[in-house]
Amino acid sequence: MVEYTVNKGKINFTHKVKPMLETKYQWRNRQIREHVEVLEGKRSPTILLYNATYLHAILKQWVKGNIWIYQDRIVYAGEKMPEFVDGQCEIVDCENMLLVPGYFEPHAHPFQLYNPLTFSFYASSFGTTILINDNLPLVLNLNRRQGFMFLGKMDRLPVSMYWWSRFDGQTEIWSQDRTFSNSNVKAWLEHRQVVQGGELTGWPKLMDGDDLLLHWIQETKRLNKRVEGHFPGASEKTLSKLKLLGVDGDHEAMTGEEVKRRMMLGYTVTLRYSSIRPDLPNILEEIKTLGIQSYDSFLLTTDGSPPAFYEAGVVDRLIKIAIEKEVPPIDAYLMATWNPARHFHLEHLYGLIATGRVANINFLENEDNPRPVSVLSKGQWIKKNNKLELDLKDFTEDMEEYFPPLSIDWELSLDDMQFSMPFGIKMENAVITKPYSITIDLNVEEISGDTDECFLMYLDRKGKFRINTLLKGFAKNLDGFATSFNNSGDLILIGKSKQNMLKAFRRMKELGGGIVLAEDDEIIFELPLPIGGMFSDLPMEDLIEKEKELRNLLFERGYSFDDPVYTMLFLPSTHLPYIRITPVGIFDVMKKRVLFPAIMR
């Protein structure tokens, strides 16, 4: 297990090789000359991998040879041995091993209770060492300077961290025009660690003639970067229009037919296996039935699933599913290595074990098992012979510098808990909500336990406004629940008992943010979220256990869907139908209008 030292909001970890330069793998002239000197026999490699059988992505073959690594870069891969090897060079016999490039997670949301540090280190232990990350929490919570400083610190991790730039907030926020100003969006797009624009959750606005959004797409294309869609259920005509408007890829295909539709139009199609959309096995079976034999335009993603989902692995798990569904093993590996490298124009750095690439290499016991026994990332051992090598104590990143603990300096009382709205929000599944007419008496302190309706309060984190209604389908016997984890960063209270909702809120306030359950005037569960009130500082292994405990408690109290974490996250999210509770009020997504505005406190 990775050894962590955790203080409130602070995670310390060690690396044994000095970090790379802040510039994104643009080596200085002096460094490049040193790389050439290794080839000339004037300088020793730092790691020599010999007797290696490794996957060559361009040949689509397993080849034999020796791999010379100098610091973080592969300087040679082929049949020759170096002319000069000094006593400091680590020599590794790779006989009986298969070597593949480090895996990509091309669509990471690294803020799903976990944070980018804990998730990236956990993922790297499973061989996923290149992550393309969502910047939405950075844009919503940090100013531009802070956001770019955060990216710089992430760049110095032993894992390769890239980002995409959002064009909208995925919910209705008061500061939309300021947060997503033209200057802000363009500055993010131009950042060297940003490789993509999107994802386009606000694509209906683009279709309706939003020229500023089209301008940002044009700028993304001018910078030779990709644009990612978000098009669940889109028709051929809609997908064709969006292709004309500049979109390159999409991760929302749920069937083989939807995959083929995107392929026919030239999209890169990211196949998904996540907690709420575990579509990959069925899709692979269906595309085989459709006669699709080319996998060159496919990528693989877990789409930012909650912690417990990753107990069984990260992208290695998806490669394993592909092999089990009779995808040729080499194609299965390329979907997680060479294909994403080419898609993001990073093939000069990743996806190939060859001269000039970053030394991200996974060591496998056999072709059918993509779980690596050893992992190299940026020339550093993440794991060796199934033992984690990183000592995470000395490398310090203070998350509080960017995401200070949630400070709630206001009180909530029963006077705020007046409910009179004529309709509530009904859950159709874990993330889709519709309006429904309220028929029960709201002038009560507790809702009867024989119904699946609960009080629902949405509170601005600064205490300026509130929205009170009912939520149907979340639970049947939940007394009080409070969370500061959701897409908008505000506060949500749910429950049948106003007193227990208040108790959960007050404990959440004491924690500086978190998830709290109260029952019979007692706190029965709490998960502190000290990083901005939104993210945990726990190691992934511990966070997985806490999430499993939370899920079990909610299931026992009548939660009947797949994923309560996603339910919390997406309650304010306007990229999903049909009705959402947002900072501006109850919002009709389809008609794009506020049905009931938020009430000032």
Helices 315-324, 280-289: inter-axial angle, 10-degree rounding: 40
**Confidence bin at 16 (pLDDT 50/70/90):** very low
Residues 422 and 388 in one domain: no
Please state which of the ranges 83-87, 397-401, 593-597 shows the lowest mean pLDDT.
Answer: 397-401
pLDDT band at 13 (very low <50, low <70, confident <90, very high): very low
pLDDT at 344 over 80: yes
293-303 per-position pLDDT tens digit: 999 999 999 99
Amino acid at position 368, single letter: D
For residue range 156-213, what is the model confidence (pLDDT) as tens digits? 899 999 999 999 988 887 788 899 999 999 999 999 999 999 999 999 999 999 999 9
Domains identified in the chain, total number: 2
Alpha helices in 172-275 (DSSP H): 176-179, 182-190, 203-207, 211-222, 236-244, 256-264
- Do 378 and 527 fall into the same domain? no
In a domain, 214, yes or no: yes
200 with 321, same domain: the answer is yes
Mean pLDDT in residue range 430-458 = 94
- For residue 245, give the DSSP letter: T
Q: What are phi and psi of 538, to 5 degrees?
A: -75, 145
Q: Is residue 452 within 8 Å of 472, Cβ to Cβ?
A: yes
> Is 75 a domain residue?
no
Does some domain include residue 74? Answer: no
Residue 18 has pLDDT above 50, yes or no: no
Asked whether 132 and 150 are in contact (CB, 8 A), the reply is no
- For residues 155 and 289, state if they share a domain: yes
Provide the sign of the torsion angle of the four alpha carbons 33, 39, 41, 43, taken in this order: positive
Residue at a domain's end among 401, 436, 455 = 401
Contacts of residue 239, Cβ cutoff 8 Å, sequence gap at least 6 = 231, 250, 261, 262, 265, 267
Where residue 393 falls among pLDDT bands split at 50, 70, 90?
Answer: low
- The answer, yes or no, to whether residue 484 has pLDDT greater than 90, is yes
Closest CA to 214 of 167, 172, 268, 250: 167
**Same-domain check for residues 326 and 272:** yes
pLDDT given at position 174: 78
Residue 460 in any domain: the answer is yes
Contact 598, 588 (CB under 8 A): no
Q: Which of 329, 317, 400 is nearest to 105 (CA)?
A: 317
Distance CA 151, CA 147 (A): 6
Q: Is the dihedral of CA 376, 381, 385, 387 positive or negative?
A: negative
**Tokens linked to 329:** 């093993």
- Answer yes or no: is 95 within a domain: no
Is pLDDT above 50 for 95? yes
* Res 559 pLDDT > 90: yes
pLDDT in tens, 497-536: 999 999 999 999 999 999 999 999 999 999 999 999 999 9
Burial of 214 (0-12, 13-18, 19+ CB in 10 A): middle
Sheet holding 395-398, edge to edge: 5-7, 10-13, 395-398
pLDDT at position 173 is: 79
Query: Which residue, among 167, 179, 137, has the nearest Cα to 154 in the 3D structure?
Result: 137
Q: Are 392 and 348 in the same domain?
A: yes
Tell me the pLDDT band of 392, cut-offs 50, 70 and 90. low
Same domain, 177 and 252: yes
Tens of pLDDT, residues 31-68: 999 999 999 999 999 999 999 999 999 999 999 999 99
CA–CA separation, 368 and 523 (whole Å): 47
The verdict on residue 291 lying in a domain is: yes
The predicted structure's pLDDT at residue 217:
98
CATH of the domain at 265: 3.20.20.140
Of 356, 378, 401, which one is at a domain's C-terminal end? 401
Angle 591-186-222 from CA coordinates, rounded to 5°: 100
Average confidence score pLDDT of the chain: 93
Q: Is 453 exposed, middle or buried (0-12, 13-18, 19+ CB in 10 A)?
A: buried
Which three-class secondary structure string do you get for 263-310? HHCCCEEEEECCCCCCCHHHHHHHHHHCCCCCCCCEEEECCCCCHHHH
Is the pLDDT score of 395 beyond 80? no
Residue with tokens 């000032």: 600
306-338 residue pLDDT tens: 999 999 999 999 999 999 999 999 999 999 999
481 vs 471: CA distance, rounded Å: 12
- Measured CA to CA, the distance from residue 425 to residue 435 in angstroms comes to 5
| 476 and 556 assigned to the same domain | yes
Residue 518: how many other CB atoms lie within 10 Å: 27
Position 440 scores a pLDDT of 94
Question: In angstroms, rounded to a whole number, what is the distance separating the alpha carbons of residues 452 and 103?
Answer: 43
Whether 137 has a pLDDT exceeding 70, the answer reads yes
With a cut of 90, say whether residue 142 has pLDDT above it.
Answer: yes
Share of the chain above pLDDT 90, in %: 90
Count H helices and E strands in the chain, helices first.
Answer: 17, 32
- Which of these three, 349, 377, 401, is where a domain ends? 401
On whether the CB atoms of residues 73 and 27 are closer than 8 A, the answer is yes
Q: Are 353 and 433 members of one domain?
A: no
Dist. CA 300–CA 340, nearest whole Å: 9
Q: Are residues 504 and 580 in the same domain?
A: yes
Query: Which domain does 448 fall in, by range?
Result: 414-600
Question: Quick one: pLDDT at residue 287?
Answer: 97
By C-alpha distance, which of 474, 460, 493, 482 is closest to 585?
460
pLDDT band at 4 (very low <50, low <70, confident <90, very high): very low
Residues 387 and 456 in one domain: no
**pLDDT at position 566 over 60:** yes
Rounded to the nearest 5°, which phi and psi values hold at 209? Answer: 110, 20
Q: Does 395 share its domain with 454?
A: no
23 pLDDT tier (thresholds 50, 70, 90): low
Distance CA 170, CA 431 (A): 14
